[in-house]
Structure 1
Amino acid sequence: MSVVLRVKNITKEFRVYERQRDRLKEIFQKKPLHKKFFANRDISFDLYSGESLGIVGLNGAGKSTLLKIISGVLMQTSGSIEVNGSIAAILELGTGFNYDLSGVENIYFNGYLLGMSKAYIDENLQDIIAFSELDEFINLPISAYSSGMVVRLAFSIAIFSNAQIFIIDEALSVGDAHFSQKCIKKLKDIKAEGKSIIFVSHDLNSLKLLCDRIILLKSGEVVKDGDPQDVLDAYNYLITEIGKADENLNQLNSSYGSKEAIITNVCMKKDSNDVSVVCCGDSVSFEIEIYADQDLKDLSLGFLIKDKFGQDIYGTNTNLLGIDLDLKKDKRYLINLDLKLNIGVGFYTVTLALHSNDTHIEKCYHWIDSIFKFELINSDKKDFIGICKLNPYIHIKEMNG
């Protein structure tokens, strides 16, 4: 495979001023009145023809700045970019659009910016409109469009360009699930044609489906570059560490109860490792630590999984499961709840409660809403869609007649 993009030792420094007037004062006083902020530090990598490269990192890691440098929107402070072919980039919502023009007019306007000729746009106009699914609205000014409609149009224009490199920065996160899946399929098609993709997203499932390789950025530097699963494991570790730092604050904001017994910690483990991202159907263990400051009998630990819309996905408690829970004064307990996560792709939260008998209504010792967050992604082999994995057994037999 040939190299279509070579990024060599890219560094981007910004000057940060406390007050706007300090910019002018700095010129005349000839002494620095700014602080240096490095969005990118000494980043190097190659992109090959037909390769799909993912870039992940926590907010502020330098992902968008790097993409703007590669696409020519920003100039690097040092380092070099070598590009063998044209680039089509979707960087920010509405970039390259005139909101006073109609959808059709913006196809031409944005197409020209991407290097398309009028003849080429004429030839592909109906395909662009059809892919965007905006036929009814294509003659309206895009100031009347929702953010999702703008993304549909931007993606549709870019994907029909003759570019050799496609750069996509979180664009698919604004659209609906149907259009996101359609875009992923289209990106796979152009990848099969030998074109290259740089894809930035917080959607780990999309990254795993699309990318051959992923780069993890932290504080503007490359900390890992390689196999998607290995890099996503490292990214998941960073997320987990931040989650632990915020844990006490989250509990203070979302907990209540009489507190004779309290939930002190919760984590999710797979193969004895702390995780917050696993595959559908994986076996995990939720480790829950509790403490009582007095002897308490007949307690119940409640466990509830909710989806990103707040809908209850699964809930139970130790009382319903026929498990006795008696606590002794000043003792700590570790409770493991082992289960297979046979639920669909998406983001979920765990709510926990310590209460009497089978419900928290009579006596609630401690309730913590959304104490833990986790994400489910597809395994390498996608074998179902929907919100639950039922694992059917299929019988096939030949019938007479």
Structure 2
Amino acid sequence: MQLLAIRGLKKSFSLYHSPLDRLKERLLGGLRHRDYCALNNIDLTLSAGESLALIGQNGAGKSTLLKLITGVLLPDAGVIERQGRVTGLLELGTGFDHELSGMDNISVNARLLGMSAAEIEMRRATIVEFAELGDYIHEPMRTYSSGMLMRLGFAIAIHADPSCFVVDEALSVGDARFQQKCLRKIRAFQAQGGSLLFVSHDLTSVKLLCNRAIVLDKGQKVFEGTPEAAVNYYYQVIARLEATENASTPTDKTGYGLKNVQMTSAWLHNGIVKTESFSAGEQAYLCIQVIAQQEIKDLELGILIRDRFGQDIFGTNTALLEHELPLNFPAGQQTQLELSFPMNLGIGKYTVTLALHKDMDHLEHCEHWWDNALEFEVAGFHTPIFSGLTYLPLTLKQTLQ
């Protein structure tokens, strides 16, 4: 069943240089504003039990789209069809009266979300308990911090029994423990068949929580696919490397970039033989074959290791390793690079993404970004047995008092 269907959605705003120009236009006539198209011809669907992410740069139209979906804004054109209750956590403070107490705002905000008086009273104690605000629940909300606003807003929205739960960047505030509590609640909501519409710059969370993603850029939908493919496309968008004669498309398995210098192959070995299987703590060597079409100087090599869920486990580049010198590549010559590191990772399968770029990151000048260049597995231990994602050597000291 489709909970949400959007067709041809458009939204524009009138931008004025000053409030005075707005007043002059009303009183005297004439055009004193410019139109800004926040969203143009957006189509999307969300089915029951599905989790959809919206990603894009600031100003891409993500928050505007969520406000249209939740009814905070009205579209200029297009159709929004909803089935069931859609609740969410948008900009902090949305739907609250800051002069009222948190307890009173439970009633105000919950009614805006479509809850009946009986539903509110039935769930009030659960909302208060989840928010963990203590005596502050009886204080005016103008005294609340951003983290406290997020706690109460999330508690009300998730307990409103939604068919679709909408989450904007608000979860990025507050303490880590409560964020983890919210994520556990979202996972439980998903496990019970709830649908999620998720906006975040935390791309690891996008991969973990969602099974489909849409990339927005300048108010347009530019990509739709799996979270991993969408994140890769988003990396290209923020690097401003759109498909040209010299910059490959994001679906190219050899990666994207200007490719004046290109990585042609990559492999791992343990100091003796090539292998894709290691034990935790074993020394690993990563070899990369590079060919330059023209002479390029002062490049940096970047590496990013992800686990099987797409989480970024470790990433760095030679610019961040301050003792490393930039790389130079003569025209027409093949070069081999080698990185060595202890494989201090937990049992599991991993991928390696590689990049050749200038400066501290790949955003301004990316020669070659090669996503998932190779795979490997950690299948045993050269260290004491441990659980989790990484091995940390510990020492114990006991002092008698």
TM bucket by the smaller chain?
0.5 to 0.7
1:106 and 2:137 are equivalent in the alignment: no
Partner residue, 1:176: 175
Partner secondary structure for residue 134 of structure 2: coil
1:338 and 2:339 are equivalent in the alignment: yes
CA separation of 1:149 and 1:27: change in aligned 2, threshold 3 A:
closer
CA positional deviation for 1:18 = 3.3
After superposition, the C-alpha distances for 1:233-261 in whole angstroms (9 at most, x for unaligned) are 1112223449xxxxxxxxxxxxxxxxxxx
Partner residue, 2:321: 303
Partner residue, 1:134: 133
1:266 and 2:300 are equivalent in the alignment: yes
Letter in 1 for 2:302: M
CA distance in 2, matches of 1:338, 1:108: 59
CA positional deviation for 1:285 = 7.8
CA distance in 2, matches of 1:24, 1:103: 37
Partner residue, 2:350: none
| 1:287–1:336 CA contact under 8 A, matched in 2 | no
1:74 and 2:73 are equivalent in the alignment: yes
**Residue identity (%):** 40
| 1:286–1:338 CA contact under 8 A, matched in 2 | no
CA distance in 2, matches of 1:50, 1:167: 13
CA separation of 1:45 and 1:22: change in aligned 2, threshold 3 A:
same
CA distance in 1, matches of 2:387, 2:37: 42
CA distance in 1, matches of 2:63, 2:130: 26
User: Matches of residues 243-282 of structure 1 in structure 2 within 5 Å?
Assistant: 264-269=298-303, 279-281=311-313
TM-score by length of 1: 0.65
| 2:210–2:227 CA contact under 8 A, matched in 1 | yes
After superposition, the C-alpha distances for 1:137-164 in whole angstroms (9 at most, x for unaligned) are 2222222221101101100011000221
CA positional deviation for 1:280 = 4.3
1:115 and 2:104 are equivalent in the alignment: no
Partner residue, 2:90: 91
| 1:285–1:337 CA contact under 8 A, matched in 2 | no
User: Matches of residues 156-305 of structure 1 in structure 2 within 5 Å?
Assistant: 156-241=155-240, 264-269=298-303, 279-281=311-313, 286=317, 303=321
Structure 2 gap segments, 5+ residues each: 242-296, 329-334, 347-357, 364-374, 380-385, 394-401
1:390 and 2:391 are equivalent in the alignment: yes
CA distance in 2, matches of 1:342, 1:67: 41
CA distance in 2, matches of 1:206, 1:265: 30
1:12 and 2:11 are equivalent in the alignment: yes
Structure 1 gap segments, 5+ residues each: 243-262, 272-277, 289-301, 305-316, 319-324, 329-333, 345-367, 393-401
CA positional deviation for 1:194 = 2.1
Letter in 1 for 2:321: F
CA positional deviation for 1:179 = 1.5
Partner secondary structure for residue 175 of structure 1: coil
CA distance in 2, matches of 1:385, 1:144: 42
Partner residue, 1:37: 36
CA distance in 1, matches of 2:172, 2:218: 23
Partner residue, 2:258: none
Partner secondary structure for residue 99 of structure 2: coil
How many residue pairs were aligned?
A: 301
CA separation of 1:216 and 1:343: change in aligned 2, threshold 3 A:
farther
CA positional deviation for 1:391 = 8.4
CA distance in 2, matches of 1:10, 1:41: 6
Partner residue, 1:371: 360
C-alpha RMSD over aligned residues: 4.0
CA distance in 2, matches of 1:48, 1:220: 23
Partner secondary structure for residue 61 of structure 1: coil
After superposition, the C-alpha distances for 1:169-199 in whole angstroms (9 at most, x for unaligned) are 1111112222222111211211222221111
TM-score by length of 2: 0.65
